[in-house]
Amino acid sequence: MVRIAIGVAVIVAAAVLWLMMPSANSLTVDAAAIRTGEVTRAPFRDFVPLRAEVAPLRTVFVTAISGGQVAELATADGAMVVAGTPLARLSNPALELDVASRSADIAGQLSAISGQRLSVQNTRQTGARDLADARNALSKAQTLLTQKQVLFDKGIITRPAIDPAREDLAYQRARVSALERGTAEAGATLADQSSGIAATAQQLRESLAMVRASLSALVLRAPVGGRLTAFTLQPGQTLKSGDPVGQIDSEGQWKLTADVDQFYLGRVRTGLGAIADLDGRSYPMAVLKVLPQVTDGRFRVELAFRGSPPAELNRGQTLDVRLVLGADRPAVVAPNGGWLDAGGTTAFVLDGNSKAVRRAIVTGRRNPDQVEIVSGLAPGERIVTTALTTYAPFQTLLIK
């Protein structure tokens, strides 16, 4: 009997010891090493905090249209300029000589065009004069025949005396008819010639203007008004066509640029509202542009002020901005934390105070304090909010 009792006691002790040993998929953790949070039903504040940088609303870059050597500076970096303000003057003797030569060539062609136009005018005048002379002769022949016809009808003159007048009238009529046809045909031809001459003259004048404009391009001018920045030209510096000269920023008109986590790329769109905070005051804003290229897990947005921006803004200044993704709505939420770094697809749910079991969940929207729980957790449950990366292989945490 004693042996049987001892055997039973050994078996019971072994079973208790086996039950107390952690399983292969569990991990014993110190209660002081983990943090927990409660799942609740509360209004979800759908926003993203951003650190945004002030930038000019519009920036226009200034480039050299023609190459040359900087001969003179007309302003300095940081100056306020208006559209058309000279910034610098370049020197390019080769271009100046080329412009003079091409201008002289075009002027010679315009002179030849003037000669052609004069020739067309002379042809028209000659044709008009010949037709006028023929019509005058026709009128005289008609008058002469009328006079002789009266004398012939009275028997004063004979037929041989009136026949030459009739023949002359017929000739003058034929002559006028021929000249009228010729003048009409010549008029159409001359009109085409005049149109071609005018078009050629216009093209030559435009070419001359372009040639002279290439010379005026040696004076670098501000394309728009604003503050001139990045203007670092020095006398004697050589520029090529297309080289950057500086940029002009809109003064008093600002935008904000900020980088956003790629998690929100599908939810951020143009026109979305935002709020910027500065010195205790809030300023409404809207998303002006979304640049969807993702770099290092983030994409960039540009935001514009709705209304007048703060007067004390400066380029490069940073502001806190809340990008509002949607209105506050009741939802099942859990505390945001390092546990989401594992993807937010599982959570360790506390079972009493001594154990937490991994459970599959589905998460939705996030903000700095909350994460929306779509499924897998219920209000009142508590979860481990400590980063789960060190607990990855385990399904159960034994809390001591």
Q: Model confidence over 120-174: pLDDT tens digits?
A: 788 788 888 888 888 898 888 899 888 888 888 888 888 888 888 888 888 988 8
Average pLDDT over residues 213-225: 84
The DSSP bridge partners found for residue 283 are 276
- What confidence score (pLDDT) does residue 176 get? 85
- pLDDT class for 6, splitting at 50, 70, 90? low
* Angle at which helices 93-153 and 159-216 cross, to 10°: 170
Average pLDDT over residues 96-123: 76
- What confidence score (pLDDT) does residue 16 get? 39
Phi/psi class of residue 367: alpha, beta or left (left: φ > 0; alpha: ψ in -120 to 50)?
Answer: beta
Secondary element (H or E) of residue 124: helix 93-153
Would you say 258 and 304 are in contact if contact means Cβ atoms under 8 Å apart?
Answer: no
- Cβ contacts of 308-312, under 8 Å, gap ≥ 24: 309/252, 309/253, 309/254, 309/283, 310/278, 310/279, 310/281, 310/283, 312/278, 312/279
**CA proximity to 60, closest of 196, 223, 182:** 223
- What confidence score (pLDDT) does residue 127 get? 81
Neighbour order of strands in the sheet with 36-38: 26-29, 396-399, 355-360, 346-350, 382-384, 36-38
Average pLDDT over residues 233-261: 91
- pLDDT class for 348, splitting at 50, 70, 90? very high
Helix (H, G, I), strand (E, B) or coil at 67: coil
> Is beta strand 40-44 parallel, antiparallel or unpaired with respect to 298-305?
unpaired
Query: CA neighbours within 13 Å on the CB side: how many for 380?
Result: 2
- What confidence score (pLDDT) does residue 41 get? 94
**AA letter at 85:** T
Average pLDDT over residues 323-350: 88
Q: Model confidence over 182-201: pLDDT tens digits?
A: 788 777 777 777 777 788 77
Tokens 């009741």 locate to 330
- pLDDT class for 1, splitting at 50, 70, 90? low
- pLDDT class for 87, splitting at 50, 70, 90? very high
Question: What's the residue count for the chain?
Answer: 400
Mean of the per-residue pLDDT values for the chain?
84
Would you say 373 and 388 are in contact if contact means Cβ atoms under 8 Å apart?
Answer: no
Question: CA dihedral defined by 321, 322, 323, 329, rounded to 10 degrees?
Answer: -170
Domains of the chain with CATH codes: 25-46+329-399 (2.40.420.20), 48-58+252-324 (2.40.30.170), 59-92+218-248 (2.40.50.100), 93-215 (1.20.58)
Longest dimension (CA), the chain: 189
Q: How far apart are CA 68 and CA 243, in angstroms?
A: 11
Q: Which residues make Cβ contacts (< 8 Å) with residue 230, sequence separation at least 6?
A: 77, 244, 246, 247
Neighbour order of strands in the sheet with 226-229: 59-63, 244-249, 226-229, 80-81
For residue 390, give both structure tokens.
Answer: 């060190």
Would you say 376 and 359 are in contact if contact means Cβ atoms under 8 Å apart?
Answer: yes
For residue 308, give both structure tokens.
Answer: 């007048």
Least confident of 4-8, 123-127, 327-331: 4-8
- pLDDT class for 24, splitting at 50, 70, 90? low
Task: Report how far Cα 203 is from the mean position of its chain's Cα atoms.
Answer: 33
Secondary element (H or E) of residue 5: helix 2-20
- What confidence score (pLDDT) does residue 305 get? 93
* Backbone CA torsion sign across 278, 282, 283, 284: positive
Checking if the pLDDT of 177 tops 90, the result is no
- What confidence score (pLDDT) does residue 4 get? 54
For residue 268, give both structure tokens.
Answer: 């951020």
Q: How far apart are CA 228 and CA 206, in angstroms?
A: 32
- What confidence score (pLDDT) does residue 272 get? 93
> Is beta strand 396-399 parallel, antiparallel or unpaired with respect to 26-29?
parallel
- pLDDT class for 340, splitting at 50, 70, 90? confident
